[in-house]
Structure 1
Amino acid sequence: MIGLVLAAGAGRRLRPYTDTLPKALVPVNGDLSVLDLTLKNFSEIGLTEVAVVVGYRKEAVYARKDELEATYGLKLTLIDNDKAEEWNNAYSLWCARDVLKRGVILANGDTVHPVSVEKTLLAARGDDRRIILALDTVKQLADEEMKVITADGQGVRQITKLMDPAGATGEYIGVTLIEPEAAEELADALKATFERDPDLYYEDGYQELVNRGFQIDVAPIGDVSWVEIDNHDDLAKGREIACLY
């Protein structure tokens, strides 16, 4: 199993930081970025290889590749997303379809979170679980969050931002464990998703899988501090949280 980070996004709501950097490289703790913190987590759980999907301002990631490898003791493979500024991240994850065959812990490049999340996912492996989503069942939800409804014994029934927060089981935080056995079916669902609408999220690909009868499971992460960084308010919160980890 290896790490996988989606770091192709432009993060336009974080300008001027993202005028020259992809969102994943915007500093959140001194000189450390979300990408740094995620690689640190991956290293701490014993991973030795990480693939990073790059696109917008990818030259900034290429420029730091050797340094990141040396700092975190990881071998990095950079995967180019040629449509990062045109299409949404269902296509971005599909670009890593060959990597999925090795089994991955996937982390969005804009999620500040503790290593306990990865440890929770690893502890949830087994019993034929092929895809496991890290789920926050504590946070008070609103309209913007990627909300999930689960059913006992059936895993995820619905994953979307477009639902009443009151009916959601929790929020998907942008970290997933994907076993090798799920790679082919996930890649096909992602392809069907972005071919239907290139503006769709990879979570819409997860929904496509569920609609096909594939069981996606969840692992509650407990009461931990984390944030998805979309705008300047999120960035300020991310900087507060990053200092804890």
Structure 2
Amino acid sequence: MGLVLAAGAGRRLRPYTDTLPKALVPIDATTTVLDLTLANYAEVGITDVAIVVGYAADAIAGRVNDFQDRYGVTLELVPNDKALTWNNAYSLWCARDLLSQGVMLANGDTVHPASVQRTLLDARGEDRQIILALDTEKSLAEEEMKVIWTSENGVRTITKLMDPAEATGEYIGVTLIEPDAAAALTEALKLTWQRDPNLYYEDGYQLLADQGLRIDVAPIGKVDWVEIDNHDDLARAREIVCPS
């Protein structure tokens, strides 16, 4: 099934996010990040989708019927009661009961084409349990979620706090999680937010890697995508979705 993390407030995108979650910030007159993500899932045949909601959850709830009709998906909303104060390790943990089904996870602020989902689906098999969509083409800076990966051991490091020159690439916020990884990931996420509620779910991935669970990557190739954190990112998303 598909899973979208859409609980965040996105304060750097005000005034849009005065009343909307970041996933519903308009990219054009009829399109939001959530529209694009649901369309991607539908395009690769994923029609059962759960959305973790928190900040301005009613705005998403009010569009459920429209989303279902428009994209041919069945939606389930998963509440995050700490979305305004805790980070997304807890947000993903809120969806822990769904992980045993196997999920395609997407951050609710990432604009990317359906080719990313196809790449992850094509990378399944050979006992891979968690597969990260990785951009190995982009020049990296300080803010990106950087990854060190080796063919021998899989992901060894995933963090923003890394010399960009050491990284294999950037994790773009889309993961394929197989059912066999559910129990270990659930426990790692719990340990992560219990240690510090401000940590990311990627810190849970790091804990799994440290414990010896292999995490793999799937390079996405030369793909136009952007994580929308601020108004400059939003402008870039609009260029990608509505090229002149």
TM-score interval (norm. to shorter): over 0.9
Which residue type is aligned with residue 174 of structure 1? G
Rounded Cα–Cα distance in structure 2 between residues aligned with 1:228 and 1:222: 17
Could you list the per-position Cα deviations for residues 25-62 of structure 1 after superposition, in whole angstroms to 9, with x for gaps in the alignment? 00113221000000000000011200000000000000
* DSSP 3-state at the match of 2:116: helix
Rounded Cα–Cα distance in structure 2 between residues aligned with 1:8 and 1:242: 23
* DSSP 3-state at the match of 1:238: helix
Matched, 1:226 2:225: yes
In the other structure, the counterpart of 1:189 is 188
TM-score (norm. length: structure 1): 0.98
In the other structure, the counterpart of 2:35 is 36
In the other structure, the counterpart of 1:110 is 109
| Number of aligned residue pairs | 243
In the other structure, the counterpart of 2:57 is 58
Rounded Cα–Cα distance in structure 2 between residues aligned with 1:196 and 1:163: 21
Rounded Cα–Cα distance in structure 1 between residues aligned with 2:75 and 2:57: 14
Which residue type is aligned with residue 210 of structure 1? A
* DSSP 3-state at the match of 1:189: helix
Could you list the per-position Cα deviations for residues 89-119 of structure 1 after superposition, in whole angstroms to 9, with x for gaps in the alignment? 0000000001111001000000000000000
Which residue type is aligned with residue 27 of structure 1? P
Rounded Cα–Cα distance in structure 1 between residues aligned with 2:160 and 2:14: 24
Could you list the per-position Cα deviations for residues 4-42 of structure 1 after superposition, in whole angstroms to 9, with x for gaps in the alignment? 000000000000000000000001132210000000000
Rounded Cα–Cα distance in structure 1 between residues aligned with 2:79 and 2:43: 26
Which residue type is aligned with residue 136 of structure 1? D
In the other structure, the counterpart of 2:159 is 160
Give the CA deviation at 1:153. Answer: 2.2
In the other structure, the counterpart of 2:8 is 9
In the other structure, the counterpart of 2:122 is 123
* DSSP 3-state at the match of 2:51: strand
In the other structure, the counterpart of 2:149 is 150
Rounded Cα–Cα distance in structure 1 between residues aligned with 2:16 and 2:60: 15
Which of structure 1's runs of 4+ aligned residues deviate more than 6 A? none
TM-score (norm. length: structure 2): 0.99
Could you list the per-position Cα deviations for residues 193-220 of structure 1 after superposition, in whole angstroms to 9, with x for gaps in the alignment? 0000000000000001001110000000
Rounded Cα–Cα distance in structure 2 between residues aligned with 1:114 and 1:233: 20
Which residue type is aligned with residue 188 of structure 1? E
Matched, 1:69 2:68: yes
* DSSP 3-state at the match of 2:104: strand
Give the CA deviation at 1:174. Answer: 0.2
Rounded Cα–Cα distance in structure 2 between residues aligned with 1:171 and 1:225: 13
* DSSP 3-state at the match of 1:29: coil
Could you list the per-position Cα deviations for residues 148-181 of structure 1 after superposition, in whole angstroms to 9, with x for gaps in the alignment? 0011221100000000001000000000000011
Q: Which runs of 5+ in 2 are unaligned?
A: none
Which residue type is aligned with residue 150 of structure 1? W
Rounded Cα–Cα distance in structure 2 between residues aligned with 1:162 and 1:30: 37
Q: CA RMSD in A?
A: 0.7
In the other structure, the counterpart of 1:97 is 96
Matched, 1:237 2:236: yes
Rounded Cα–Cα distance in structure 1 between residues aligned with 2:84 and 2:237: 24
In the other structure, the counterpart of 2:177 is 178
Identity of aligned residues (%): 69
Which residue type is aligned with residue 209 of structure 2? V
In the other structure, the counterpart of 1:24 is 23
